[in-house]
Amino acid sequence: MYDYLVYDVFTDTPFGGNPLAVLPDASGIPEDRLQKIAREFNFSETTFVLPPEDPAHTARVRIFTPTQEVPFAGHPLIGTAVALNDLGRGTDMVLELGTGPTAAHAAQGSARFTATQPLVRGGMPAPEDVAACLGLDASDIRTDRRPPEQAGLGLEFTLVELTTRAALARAQPVTDAFRTAARRYPTRLDFAVMAYTRDGATIHARMFAPLDNIPEDPATGSAAAALSAVLAEADGTTRFTIHQGEDMGRPSLIETAVTLENGRTAAVTVAGRAIRVAEGRLTLD
């Protein structure tokens, strides 16, 4: 039997933010059960905490969506760091991920981590293709500041600015359009789209990844990190407040800070709160 914890992440209010299942001692779980357990929880991610490969580090953390393992994700890192701190496993941590060791800090229900892996910038999807995925008109896509772009820090997202907050509220994922776009613009997350509006350092966002069994994500730290890095490189703004989940009734708040060196992203720090809402035990043969 294996204990698990459920946290709502990027919130300090139960039933807000993004749910996360954490298995704080997963060392005995058979490899072929990991994906099945993540699918059973059916949250956007589940984390499995294992002994570190380097004894100087805190833990190795494996992250699974309902359909695949991913090397890096934001809300699982925040939630896992808070969970480990709640369990007495330290305040300053180094967590081993698929993207390498990542420094994290957690205390009193708050956590932050700093991602230093390179920002990868990829394709430039056509605005009409992105609009079709979101059930919007091409005129709802704002291109005067930035056209849609695929970028990520371990996971690539299609980042698209919309013209108004009302357009963001109207967005609804169209699965067939996502399938078409995924063929045209392949990424690891099957054309996951982070749509947003921006007012200076304040961003309102929604993230859709229906092909990965995530019709909408209430809070996406990895996409927030990628978006912050792209915007910082564009105009020098280095701190952002990202509101996500409001249109699905799970308000989330993500804070980011970008470190630039010679105009390029050297690191992105992501911060937020998490609160435990459930705990239990898996009974496996």
| Active centre residues (catalytic) | 45
Q: How many CB atoms lie within 10 A of CB 218?
A: 26
Contacts of 270 (CB under 8 A, 6+ apart): 74, 77, 78, 112, 113, 114, 115, 221, 224, 225, 254, 255, 256
The span from the CA of 214 to the CA of 178, in Å, is 12
- As separate numbers, helices (DSSP H) first and strands (DSSP E) second, the chain gives 6, 17
Instruction: Provide the 8-state DSSP code for 149.
Output: E
H-state helical runs in the chain:
31-41, 74-86, 127-133, 165-170, 175-184, 221-235
Q: Of the candidates 88, 2, 89, 11, which has an alpha carbon nearest to the alpha carbon of residue 47?
A: 2
The span from the CA of 80 to the CA of 67, in Å, is 20
- Asked if 79 contacts 22 with a C-beta cutoff of 8 angstroms, the reply is yes
Instruction: Provide the 8-state DSSP code for 118.
Output: P
The span from the CA of 174 to the CA of 178, in Å, is 6
DSSP string, 17-69: SEEEEEES--TTS-HHHHHHHHHHH-SS-EEEEE--SSTTSSEEEEEE-SS-E
- Asked if 237 contacts 230 with a C-beta cutoff of 8 angstroms, the reply is no
